[in-house]
Amino acid sequence: MNSVLELTARDNHKFSAYLAQPKEKPRAGLVILQEIFGVNNHIREVTDLFAKKGYLAIAPSLFDRKERNVELSYDEQGVLKGRKLKDLCNEQALKDIEASISLVSSAGKVGVVGYCWGGSLAWRIADQSNELSGCVSYYGGDIPKLKHCNPKCNFLSHFGELDQSIPIEDVKSFKQFKPEVEIFTYPAQHGFNCNHRKQYNEVSARIALDRTIKFFENNLD
């Protein structure tokens, strides 16, 4: 079962969030963090997928602070608008993530999984929040730049070896600097998990999902 809720952040900002509930009692709560394209079909499908795996899953609309109901295309125009909205919402987004964590905490332990911009936000919220039991990032571009952050929970990160926006040398340096962070790389481009994009890599996406599910089973159950 899925629905759209309205949540309130601690600064009284009201925003929408897509909630997917498992059929049985949830095994834990999970917050899904969007790419720069909004809470679109892909993010809703990912949220539904984790609900089918047994998690109470929520995807907050992090662009609502500037524009509501944002669903962008994967072309150049969509990328440009998404990056602009990201820059405008980046600093305040953690407040919306905190409210989402609080909502799904009714299911027990809480984890976060983020994609692209959301992957970077997963790293930042893991550094700030004491309420999380495990976080996963897919191609979070800011993570190597924010290597001095110290996540307060176990952290798993996926990167594409052919990702032109996140140089693999930066990933290798980050891995040496943060050996406690579990990092996997794949022969794939940025966005390899999204089957709506030409960069989709089915094999890499499947392997990354298997690792993500096992990670959450180990840290949230």
Condensed to tens digits (0 to 9), the pLDDT of residues 31-51 reads 999 999 999 999 999 999 999
Rounded average pLDDT over 58-78: 97
Mean pLDDT (the chain, rounded): 97
State yes or no: pLDDT of 20 exceeds 90.
yes
pLDDT of residue 26: 97
Class of domain 2-220: alpha beta
pLDDT in tens, 147-191: 999 999 999 999 999 999 999 999 999 999 999 999 999 999 999
Rounded average pLDDT over 99-117: 98
Would you state the structure tokens that stand for residue 142, as one six-digit string?
């800011």
Rounded average pLDDT over 113-129: 98
Quick check: 220 and 27 in contact, CB under 8 A? yes
- Round to whole Å and give the CA distance between 140 and 166: 8
- Round to whole Å and give the CA distance between 91 and 67: 15
Rounded average pLDDT over 193-197: 97
State yes or no: pLDDT of 17 exceeds 90.
yes
- Name the phi and psi angles at 151, rounded to 5: -60, 140
pLDDT in tens, 203-215: 999 999 999 999 9
- Round to whole Å and give the CA distance between 64 and 96: 10
Nearest Cα neighbor of 99 from 219, 42, 19 is: 19
pLDDT in tens, 70-88: 999 999 999 999 999 999 9
pLDDT of residue 34: 98
Total-model pTM: 0.97
pLDDT of residue 1: 80
pLDDT of residue 70: 97
